[in-house]
């Protein structure tokens, strides 16, 4: 880059005039930056804002998050998906309380906090603490690949290091927060994945791709494999009083400790009924099909067939198994896939 300081100046002055008002930008408190960055992974800004505001009302400090019941944290996260982010965030908060007297470290110790990877580390250190650290995510790689004409595949993990090095070489040491946020904001508003608005771009005179007219070809990103489809049969088991059987997921990893309706991996209703009888007793009946729904995760796709069922057995309730009125289901943390079922059933009066 010919004129680094002009590039910094153009970017930062554009950012200061054009930045969106976002709730976590107001006071640059490290805890707020941390929560917002975790929420923003895989989720769009507009979706995150109401979740962020609610989360801050419920858990206004690291201490309150550390002391909360995991179920309440998952409930506050309900709908955002990727629940391991919420679990790690709380584990991290506990660590900060126990090992760092409630203050997120300003040095490399920050990497030891659960759930804080290189990007979140860079965002907290540069935005909240004014350190010259790169915060490189997919957006930053897109913008930098165009400005510096980098043709490496950004889908490969090691490519991030190329961009971290470039950011380290170009970051404004005195304005790390506005510089890093400026790049992120440029990626969100101007240097968008398709049809970047180069004519309005504050750094076009510094951009190699703009000069070469190659902005439409960059970044290079190889395609991921499509998610693997898995057939799931779900049953809404109602007792005579209209209560419904719900259970806590025990599968380690995917949606662990969230609640669900009884289900199994199968395409066949008879197999589902057999399994339900093994679990709950003989007087369990899987009846009519209510709906088919698809839910996509990063690597897998659930193709769910949902049945209505009846249970005439006495259900022994415990910590992980409840028989509750349909209306009270909203008190439990449910993953989005099961919320979709709940909403469909409610909207169409299928619970009766």
232: left (phi over 0), alpha (psi -120 to 50) or beta: beta
Nearer Cβ to ligand SF4 (92/187): 187
Nearer Cβ to ligand SF4 (40/191): 191
Residue 285: phi and psi, rounded to 5, are -125, 125
Residue 306: phi and psi, rounded to 5, are -110, 130
CB of 172 to ligand SF4, least distance (A): 17
3-state secondary structure 16-82: HHHCCCCHHHCCCCHHHHHHHHHHHCCCCHHHHHHHHHHHHHHCCCHHHHHHCCHHHHHHHHCCCCC
By CB under 6 A, residue 210 contacts ligand SF4: yes
**Catalytic annotation present for 288:** no
Nearer Cβ to ligand SF4 (209/237): 209
Burial class (CB in 10 A: 0-12, 13-18, 19+), 180: buried
CB of 195 to ligand SF4, least distance (A): 10
By CB under 6 A, residue 146 contacts ligand SF4: yes
Yes or no: say if 327 and 246 are a contact pair by the CB < 8 Å rule: no
CB of 16 to ligand SF4, least distance (A): 17
What is each CA distance from 43 to 48, 93, 99, 187, 290, in whole angstroms? Answer: 7, 21, 30, 15, 30
Which entry of 29, 37, 256, 260 is annotated as an active-site residue?
37
Q: Per CB under 6 A, which of residues 189..208 are in contact with ligand SF4?
A: 190-191, 196-198, 201, 203-204, 207
CB of 184 to ligand SF4, least distance (A): 13
CB of 214 to ligand SF4, least distance (A): 9
CA–CA distance, 169 with 38 (Å, rounded to integer): 26
Nearer Cβ to ligand SF4 (209/332): 209
Nearer Cβ to ligand SF4 (210/326): 210
Point out which span in 142-150, 157-165, 244-252, 299-307 binds ligand SF4 (CB under 6 A). 142-150
Q: How far is C-alpha 113 from the chain's CA centre?
A: 18
- As annotated, the active-site residues are 37
Note the residues at the interface with ligand SF4 (CB under 6 A). 143, 146-147, 190-191, 196-198, 201, 203-204, 207, 209-210, 215
């Amino acid at each position: 880059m010919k004129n680094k300081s002009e590039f910094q100046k153009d970017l930062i002055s554009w950012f200061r005039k054009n930045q969106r008002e976002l709730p976590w930008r107001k006071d640059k408190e490290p805890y707020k930056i941390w929560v917002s960055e975790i929420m923003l992974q895989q989720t769009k800004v507009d979706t995150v804002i109401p979740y962020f505001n609610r989360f801050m009302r419920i858990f206004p400090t690291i201490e309150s998050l550390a002391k909360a019941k995991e179920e309440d944290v998952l409930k506050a996260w309900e709908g955002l998906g990727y629940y391991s982010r919420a679990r790690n965030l709380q584990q991290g908060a506990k660590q900060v309380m126990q090992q760092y007297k409630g203050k997120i470290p300003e040095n490399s110790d920050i990497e030891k906090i659960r759930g804080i990877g290189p990007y979140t580390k860079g965002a907290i250190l540069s935005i909240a603490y004014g350190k010259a650290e790169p915060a490189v995510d997919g957006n930053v790689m897109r913008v930098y690949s165009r400005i510096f004409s980098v043709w490496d595949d950004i889908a490969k993990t090691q490519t991030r290091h190329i961009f971290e090095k470039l950011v380290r070489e170009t970051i404004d040491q005195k304005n790390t927060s506005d510089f890093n946020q400026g790049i992120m904001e440029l990626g969100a508003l101007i240097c968008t994945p398709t049809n970047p608005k180069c004519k309005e771009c504050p750094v076009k005179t510094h951009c190699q791709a703009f000069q070469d007219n190659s902005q439409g070809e960059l970044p290079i990103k190889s395609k991921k494999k499509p998610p693997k489809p898995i057939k799931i049969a779900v049953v809404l088991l109602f007792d005579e009083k209209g209560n419904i059987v719900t259970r806590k997921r025990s599968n380690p990893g995917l949606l662990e400790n969230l609640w669900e309706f009884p289900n199994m991996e199968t395409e066949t209703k008879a197999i589902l009924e057999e399994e339900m009888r093994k679990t709950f007793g003989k007087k369990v009946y899987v009846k009519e099909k209510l709906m088919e729904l698809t839910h996509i995760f990063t690597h897998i796709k659930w193709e769910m067939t949902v049945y209505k069922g009846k249970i005439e057995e006495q259900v022994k309730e415990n910590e992980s198994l409840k028989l509750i009125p349909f209306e009270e289901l909203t008190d439990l943390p449910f993953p989005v896939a099961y919320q979709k079922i709940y909403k469909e059933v409610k909207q169409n009066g299928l619970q009766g």
